[in-house]
Amino acid sequence: MEDRLSQKEVRRLMKISGNVKGSVILADIDYVKIKGGEGAVKKLKKRMKEIRIKFELEKVKPMEMYPEAISVIIVLLAKEILGLDEKGVFDMGKAAVKLSFFIKILTRYFISPKRCFEESPRYWAKHFDFGELEAVEFDEIEKYAVIRIRGYKFHPIMCQYHRGYFLQIAQLVLGKKEISVEETKCVFRNDAYHEYVISWK
């Protein structure tokens, strides 16, 4: 299978430092279960053993920190197991927001979209012990916002995942259906950071 995750790629990813809260990993495991049932989760566990990742999915705790490499590997394996295309990975990112209790709390208690936007760097820092999210610009008149992620370079698949993630948050916060998210800069295109422009009508 062309999209099958290789041992070489796994070794490369596991060398990259940085950790994420277990709640992020749990949301992705839930997505695999929702889309493919218990059988897909069993395949995920089997593939993780095949690529020599000693990680017990059933023991993940929401507030504990785990390697972001594991999170990325789970997304890559989900793509493989569920046969996800680019849009499928985008939808997986969207679903991660819907499946996250902490995101629901975040978006429920901020009284305005601008406030939520301004607080987004703090949210990143609470869930990742590396990298940085910058709230660059929020224009209510022109109806767009710009965010940047620095210090994050694991795999290009996460660009689509994050596009979906940010779009779903924007939908929750703005309460609008016509929203688009475009990655205008990317470290995999030799830019210094990932930049996402969120626009709405």
Strand partners, 134: 148
pLDDT of residue 168: 92
Domain segments of the chain as ranges: 7-97, 109-200
Continuous H helices in 61-142: 68-82, 86-98, 101-109, 113-127
Instruction: Look up the pTM and report it.
Output: 0.92
Q: Measured between alpha carbons, how far is 110 from 119 in angstroms, rounded to an integer?
A: 9
Give residue-wise pLDDT tens across range 66-112. Answer: 999 999 999 999 999 999 999 999 999 999 988 875 565 555 555 68
pLDDT of residue 13: 98
pLDDT cut 70: percent of the chain above it:
94
Instruction: Using the predicted structure, report yes or no on whether residue 46 has a pLDDT greater than 70.
Output: yes
Angle in degrees, CA 140, 136, 106, rounded to 5: 75
Identify the CA nearest to 92 among candidates 162, 169, 8: 162
For range 29-35, the mean pLDDT:
96
**CATH among 3.10.450.50, 3.40.50.300, 2.70.98.40, 3.90.1520.10 for 109-200:** 3.90.1520.10
Copy the structure tokens of residue 28: 């992705």
Q: Measured between alpha carbons, how far is 79 from 111 in angstroms, rounded to an integer?
A: 36
